[in-house]
Amino acid sequence: MADYQILFSKKAQKDIAQLTTTQKVKLQEILQQVLAVNPYIGKALKGKLTGLYSYRLNRKDRIVYEIIEDDRVVFVIRAKTHYGE
């Protein structure tokens, strides 16, 4: 059962449109079964990305998101960003 609502930035929506069907299915599973239940399982980012979290989508891509605890929201900022960018 999802404890957190998932919302998307416009950039994340554009990222999702570029994913393959298989990647979209995996993203949906991660969002619904993992991040909506416990978003703190992701890696807390540092530096200029402090306050954001990431979770691996595949070997080269990650989901970058913010947790808005007061509203119980996971706000997906990027849905396909490469490690090292």
User: Quick check: helix, strand or coil at residue 57?
Assistant: coil
CB atoms inside a 10 Å sphere around CB 55:
19
Distances (CA, A) of 79 to 59, 70: 14, 23
CA dihedral sign, ordered 15, 6, 47, 42: negative
pTM as predicted: 0.91
What's 75's domain CATH number?
Answer: 3.30.2310.20
Domain around 57:
5-82
Report how far residue 50's alpha carbon sits from residue 75's, in angstroms, rounded to the nearest whole number. Answer: 15
pLDDT, tens digit, 9 for 90 and up, residues 6-34: 999 999 999 999 999 999 999 999 999 99
The model's pLDDT over 42-81, given as tens digits with 9 standing for 90+, comes to: 999 999 999 999 999 988 899 999 999 999 999 999 998 7
**What total of structural domains would you count in the chain?**
1
